[in-house]
Amino acid sequence: MPYYVGAGDPEWDEYLKQAETDWSDEPPQSLFTYVEPWKAETSVLRFPEAPGAEPEAPRDSVYRQPSTPGRGFFAGLFGKQAEIPTFSTEQLLDNLAKRQNAISAHALWKVSGSTAVCRKAGVKRIFGSYDGGGDESFTHLHGAQMNDGRVIDPDELRKTVRAADELLDNAVSAIMGTFDAGEFALHGAVIIDFEACTITDEKNADVVFGDKVVWGV
């Protein structure tokens, strides 16, 4: 999820109590616990080397439970009340789950579609981080490791792979779905490996909170 603390956790209550006197905008690192990414449910998610057929795009429909029945023009003209569909809690949750699945599947398809471009540009791995909770959520591009061993910064990476920021957004969406705002805080980091065709959610707290990656061999 990855490192998370939120409403319902004793650590969150501890943070709120501390914030009353310390005016802290962020829970201390000691209160965070690592949890598997809530959509992928694994810390290593594989993607195909070739993207294949495009999956169904997420629907933007928002289902609302109407407070009062509405009346359309012809219904009003003939004295009939317009029928507005209603949805049970189970249906709303099912629709939400389907949308989350579609978001992740479509994002993973887009990451897969970038494999050939990144390999051709000599990009072996891309490193980025993400955070959410409170009022907003973000992703942050930190750089890439090239096939020749060089590590390049975000600006050079953007020149090499024009859609690098979008690629990172899609990688995070593939493992997390959406991770918007709310009564929680989370921090994570991912490595997109185009040689192994994997998105790895980093478990090392020093990497996640320090925004530094050990590229390995």
The domain spans of the chain are 3-50+97-210
Neighbours of 123 (CB within 10 A): 24
Residue 2 has pLDDT above 50, yes or no: yes
**What is the phi/psi pair of residue 107, to 5°?**
-65, -40
User: Span 205-211, mean pLDDT?
Assistant: 88
**What is the phi/psi pair of residue 47, to 5°?**
-130, 150
Residue 66 has pLDDT above 50, yes or no: no
Strands 33-34 and 138-146: unpaired
**What is the phi/psi pair of residue 186, to 5°?**
-145, 150
Instruction: Give the H/E segment covering residue 201.
Output: strand 198-201
Cβ 19 vs Cβ 191: under 8 Å:
no
Question: What count of Cα atoms within 13 Å lies in the side-chain half-sphere of residue 124?
Answer: 11
* Tokens 């690098």, located at residue: 164
What's the pLDDT tens digit per position in 16-41? 988 888 777 789 999 999 999 978 88
* Tokens 């921090």, located at residue: 187
What's the pLDDT tens digit per position in 72-129? 544 554 555 555 567 677 766 667 678 788 889 999 999 999 999 999 999 999 999 9
Query: What is the per-residue DSSP string for 132-163?
Result: EEET--EEEEEEEEETTS-EE-HHHHHHHSTT
pTM, entire model: 0.81
Residue type, 118: C
Rounded distance, CA 84 to CA 78, Å?
Answer: 17
**What is the phi/psi pair of residue 121, to 5°?**
-80, -5
Rounded distance, CA 61 to CA 85, Å?
Answer: 13
